[in-house]
Amino acid sequence: MTKREHPLKGEFDTAEARWERTTHEDGSPAALEIGYADNGLVALRMAEDPEGDILIYTPAEWEAFVEGVRDGEFDIETWDDEPIVEIIEDDEDEPAKR
C-alpha cells in the first residue's frame, strides 16, 4: 500500500515521497523516517516498519512541530541518573488498608 489518504489533509504516496532517516547525535541511524511528498505533505514513520502506521502533517503543522523541537517544547528530563525502584506487589490474601 503506497498511497495513504488522510480525510482532511489529502493523499500521501509513500512510494513517491523522499524519505530521510533521522540520526542520533553521534550520526548513527535513529528510529524515525521523515517523508516529503510533492504535494507538500510531510509524514513520519518507524524506519523498521515502513508499511506500518504513518503520521501525516500539512506544511504549517510540520513547521510548527519543527519550531517546537528547536524551542525545546518537547524536551524531557532523562531518567538515566534515577535510582532503580523496586515494585512490590500487594499480597492478595491481606485485606486492603483504608
- Tens-digit pLDDT profile for residues 16-35: 999 999 999 899 999 999 99
pLDDT at 2: 85
* Interacting residues of 75 by C-beta distance below 8 A, sequence separation 6+: none
92 occurs within a structural domain: no
Q: What percent of the chain has pLDDT over 70?
A: 82
Other C-beta atoms lying within 10 Å of the C-beta of residue 39: 14
**Rounded to two decimals, what is the model's pTM?**
0.70
38 occurs within a structural domain: yes
82 occurs within a structural domain: no
In total, how many domains does the chain have? Answer: 1
85 occurs within a structural domain: no
Average pLDDT for residues 39-50, to the nearest whole number?
Answer: 95
Residue 77 CA to residue 68 CA, distance in Å, equals 16
87 occurs within a structural domain: no
Q: Using 50, 70 and 90 to split pLDDT, how confident is the model at 52?
A: very high
| Beta strand pairing call for 54-57 and 42-46 | antiparallel
80 occurs within a structural domain: no
Q: Domain range spanning residue 44?
A: 3-70
39 occurs within a structural domain: yes
The x, y and z cell numbers of residue 41, run together, are 505533505
